[in-house]
Amino acid sequence: MTPIADESQTATIHPPLQQFLEACHARFATDNAGKVADYIPELGKANPDLFGISLATIDGHLYEVGDTEVPFTIQSMSKPFAFALALDSLGAAAIEAVIGVEPSGDAFNSIRLNADNKPFNAMVNAGAITCSGLIVGAKGEWAFDFIRQGLSRFAGRELGVDEAVYASERATGDRNRAIGYLLRNSAVLRGDVGGVLDVYFRQCSILVTARDVAVMAATLANRGINPLTGEQVVAPYAVARTLSVMTTAGMYDFAGEWIYRVGIPAKSGVGGGILAALPSQFGFGSFSPRLDQHGNSVRGIQVCEVLSAHFDLHMLNRNGNSRTSVIADYDIGRGASRRSRRADEHTILRQHHGDVRVIELVGSLSFATIDYITRQVAGKALPQILIVDFRRVADVSSAAARLLADGLRELERFNITTVLSGLARSSLTWEAISQWTDGMTRVRNFVVLDEAIEWAEDQIVYRYGGRVDHGGEMPLAEQALLAGLSPDDLAAITGLGTVKKFTPGEVMIRAGEPGSSLFLIQNGQVSVRLPSGVRLAALTGGMVVGEMALLGDKRAADAIADTDVACLEIPVDRFRQFADQHPQVGKQMMQNLAGLLAGRLMRANVKVDLLSSD
């Protein structure tokens, strides 16, 4: 017999990416190629068998295998972060005036400048020393504290310094001194060369772990926002420029082959670390002190190559169908609001349903997706009101936000009102869009899509000569539940109940309670909401709330007065007695109830169809 599993034992499911990294660690841990850097004596003391892999997603999840908490010195991996900090604090113009952005093809410690007597880029020692010099010039004696604190913010924790490595670098740093004096001779570096180099040596001696490196890389991948702390460490423009230089020069004279084979912006350090940042996806960090002839970690290179090849992560081999950003596209004939309306309102909305168009979006919006959406809008009959819903959108790139704003301005030129829904004003998506839509008079914002559709419906009713009932007095004869009853029957029904009044915000019906009565609304407005707060319907005079009590059910939702409400409360037991005595009246009302429920079901089916259709 097959043994039955013990239900008291909970199986642990290992995510496939965790399993993949574990397999990589097991595969490459036995590769003893390469050697530990020894030109800085203190680095030569590293244990060559240490090996850690960490990957941080931009939503803050960490995958870790091996020696991911062992500290080691950051070395040249500090260069992109110092560069980003300098760009962010001093501005691009000041940095680009003295540091180039072209790859050199030389080793990281080459004593050579470009044709303009500037360092080739900020990833080689000459450029990194210049970057440190700029920070010294701006921050003075606080320059190193500024750099260390900045790197700590990238890592999401306080980082220390390996004083022994710092002393060793300082004692053996004559080649860097030669670079420093070459820079001063070319008027690139100003001030005390020794003081600048002291900051640079300390910067390279900052202690990190593979986990720290992954988080720091993920912060770059996340447009400068640390995925663990949520802090915006540097501005997105500084990140974009930093990743650009990492792409072309981060791996020194191996950079061309790296981008050809791996295709992810990266930076290595002779302490044995490698960081890689795939924009909008993840940050990678590894530690293994054995280096190849280029000064890059042998095992770290191998993991990156396999990771990129296995999951097809090369940044230039991307695909994406911009059409998948539109999850639903409809007018109010197919997707009306949850507001219950009178017959004359329904007539106007049915005749002019195409005047309101709703586009529901999903995922991350890029330049291409917004271009597709704007073409879809222009390719059909233009509505009077366009509603664009963002509640399922994860983020909007700056290019997408700018293109969207340009599209909204064009719609405004044709007197089309645009309503943006699903955007909390505190969200990053709203910030990205609002900076380009300021001053537009025909752009409105609603947090909830249903409220946006209801507002648009009201506008259409007004524009075509109708009036919207926001709770005016309504005689019982116009109650949908009482349709078809004679005046005598209506008078008898009236005698079953008592008039009750509610103030705004007062709960008329509470979910979970027994259904003991129904309410025929005479005036005012009532919202029917789930306990979660989701609005199911907005009801006004002439409508009924709590009618499911006639079927003996418990209350499924809350009914809350939006305004002052007056209604006729009819106890269910009294109605049943009346129905027993007047079976034809009872039958007519139950038929009316069936019609109301059928209408709700049809509207719900339409909503489902909208989300399942192309």
Question: DSSP letters along 462-524, please?
Answer: HHTT----SS----GGG-GGGTT--HHHHHHHHHH-EEEEE-TT-EEE-TTSB--EEEEEEES
76 is catalytic: yes
Average pLDDT over residues 397-408: 83
pLDDT digit string (tens) for 507-518?
A: 998 988 888 888
Active site residue 462: no
In the CATH scheme, what architecture does the domain 16-311 have? Answer: 3-Layer(aba) Sandwich (3.40)
Label residue 115 by pLDDT band (50, 70, 90).
confident
Give the lowest-confidence range in 62-76, 98-112, 224-238, 426-440.
426-440
Write the pLDDT tens digit of every residue in 335-385. 888 777 777 888 999 999 999 999 999 888 888 888 888 888 888 888 999
**CA gap 406, 292 in Å, rounded:** 51
349, exposed or middle or buried, with CB in 10 Å at 0-12, 13-18, 19+? buried
Does CATH number 3.30.750.24 belong to domain 324-463? yes
Give yes or no for residue 605 having a pLDDT over 80.
no
Q: Residue 318's pLDDT is what?
A: 66
Asked if the model's pLDDT at residue 566 lies above 50, the reply is yes
Residue 261 CA to residue 324 CA, distance in Å, equals 30
Set 79, 118, 356, 443: catalytic member: 79
Asked if pLDDT for residue 2 goes beyond 60, the answer is no
Cα angle 423, 457, 444 (rounded to 5 degrees) comes to 30
What tokens appear for 461 in the block? 């009713």
For the question of residue 252 being annotated catalytic, the response is yes
**Considering only CA atoms, which of 121, 108, 275 is closest in space to residue 175?**
108
Is 270 among the catalytic positions?
A: yes
Catalytic residue selected from 161, 199, 270, 461: 270
Who wins on pLDDT, 592 or 453? 453
Tell me the pTM: 0.66
Q: What is the pLDDT of residue 204?
A: 95
Is it the case that residue 536 has pLDDT exceeding 90? Answer: no
Bin 568: left if φ > 0, else alpha if -120 < ψ < 50, else beta: beta
* Residue 459 vs residue 607, higher pLDDT: 459
Q: Rounded mean pLDDT of 404-431? A: 81
- pLDDT for 397: 78
Quick one: average pLDDT of 383-402?
A: 86
pLDDT score of 6: 46
Q: What are the residue ranges spanned by the domains of the chain?
A: 16-311, 324-463, 476-611
Three-state SS annotation for 203-225:
HHCEEECHHHHHHHHHHHHCCCE
User: Are the C-beta atoms of 179 and 218 separated by less than 8 Å?
Assistant: no
Please identify which of the residues 63, 166, 200, 330 carries the catalytic annotation. 200
Q: What is the mean pLDDT of residues 392-411?
A: 83
What is the rounded average pLDDT of the residues 26-45? 92
Q: Average of pLDDT values for 264-273?
A: 94
Pick the CATH number of 476-611 from 3.30.450.20, 2.60.120.10, 3.40.640.10, 1.10.540.10: 2.60.120.10
What's the confidence (pLDDT) of residue 426? 56
Average pLDDT along the chain: 86
- Asked if 363 contacts 392 with a C-beta cutoff of 8 angstroms, the reply is yes
Whether the pLDDT of residue 3 is over 60: the answer is no
pLDDT for 5 equals 43
Q: Which amino acid is at 512?
A: G
* pLDDT for the residue numbered 28: 96
From 76, 110, 168, 268, active-site residue = 76
Please tell me which residue in 110, 252, 358, 461 is annotated as part of the active site.
252
Look at 67 and 316; give whichever has higher pLDDT: 67
Query: Do the beta carbons of residue 31 and residue 298 sit within 8 Å?
Result: yes
79 is annotated as an active-site residue: yes
pLDDT of residue 271: 94
